[in-house]
Amino acid sequence: MSDATEQITTIALDLDNTLLNSQKNISAANTAVLKQLHQQGKRIVLCTGRALTLIKPWLQQLDLTQPTDYSITYNGGLIQNNVTNEILSQTVLTKTDIAILYRDARKLDFPLDVLGIDGVYSLMELGKSDYENYLKHQLPFKNLTFEQLPEHEVYGKAVCATTEAVVQRIRYQLSPATQEKFQIVPSRREMLEFMPAGVNKAAGLKQLLAHFGDDFSNLMAFGDEENDLEMIQAAGIGVAMENAIPQVKAVAQAVTKNNDADGVAYYLRQYFQL
């Protein structure tokens, strides 16, 4: 490998519409290339809004089960060891924080699901969203009111899963208090996510890289959506998928093939001369 390829120690990958194809699978080509690079000593880090529990099958598929393998979950709010589940870093919300968002949800009429440690709470007075179906019931859901939301539990994020039209309507009408308290970003066209202020995938990766004595110059990142923007911009090499939104392509150093054409494998083979 050249000095340039040796400089890259860590490869960060968004999941939906980046590493995953339209069938929500990691292709054989992507699997083979990532396994090869991991065996050569590169860190492979999945970066997602999902909980670690939900990505375990993909971690197993890619053999990301070594003691030094980590994932970035909750869009940067949680950094966990893939094997032990040990938390390297965590940024959380309290019920008091959620109350600020809840007032907006009541006023603007949108559904809200709150992700706790052991499952998801659907705030039923706001209407049941499609989030449970979207997750295919892979996490336990509990239907309750905001008043019943546990007072002393901490929360990773809140999610508004609705129609694209509602997402577009509400995201620019949220109160200044909500905009100050939360990092607000669509993870897909029909889903708006609310993380603690300052949380994004780049912030999580910065902490993980520092843990290993590295920085952004050692990072290559792949993404397609608005919640990937910061990490694509921060990475030494930021790669946008061909199917990425224009904002991501604008800050990327390279554009690869789309997620149904093994875009991740295509770029990695070229860059690392595999």
Clarify whether residues 102 and 180 are in a common domain: yes
pLDDT tens-digit readout, 5-20: 889 999 999 999 999 9
- Asked whether residue 28 falls in the same domain as residue 102, the answer is no
Quick one: pLDDT at residue 5?
80
* Same domain, yes or no: 216 and 268: yes
Strands 43-47 and 237-240: unpaired
Q: Are 144 and 123 in contact (CB under 8 A)?
A: yes
Q: Of 98, 77, 102, which Cα lies nearest the Cα of 87?
A: 77
pLDDT reading at 119 higher than 60: yes
Q: pLDDT grade, residue 2 (50/70/90)?
A: low
Measured CA to CA, the distance from residue 210 to residue 6 in angstroms comes to: 18
Q: Cα separation of 75 and 187, whole Å?
A: 9
User: What pLDDT, in 10s, does the model give residues 183-217?
Assistant: 998 888 899 999 999 999 999 999 999 999 999 99
Give the end of a domain, one of 164, 196, 228: 196
| Domain end (from 144, 168, 196) | 196
Residues 214 and 237 in one domain: yes
Do 203 and 192 sit in the same domain of this protein?
no
**pLDDT at residue 139, rounded to an integer:** 86
**Total domain count, the chain:** 2
- CATH number for the domain that contains residue 65: 3.40.50.1000
Residue 85 sits in the same domain as residue 209: yes
pLDDT in tens, 67-118: 999 999 999 999 999 999 999 999 999 999 999 999 999 999 999 999 987 7
Query: Range of 161's domain?
Result: 95-196
Q: Clarify whether residues 114 and 191 are in a common domain.
A: yes
User: What is the model's pLDDT at position 221?
Assistant: 98
Tell me the average pLDDT across 240-246: 97
Q: Are residues 207 and 152 in the same domain?
A: no
Last residue of a domain, one of 196, 220, 240: 196
What is the spatial distance between Cα 191 and Cα 94, in angstroms, rounded to a whole number?
A: 21
Q: Is 246 exposed, middle or buried (0-12, 13-18, 19+ CB in 10 A)?
A: exposed
Give the residue-averaged pLDDT of 261-274.
Answer: 97
Q: Are residues 187 and 260 both part of a single domain?
A: no
CATH number for the domain spanning 140: value is 3.30.1240.10
User: In the predicted model, is pLDDT for residue 4 greater than 80?
Assistant: no
* Each residue's pLDDT tens digit, 40-64: 999 999 999 888 989 999 999 999 9
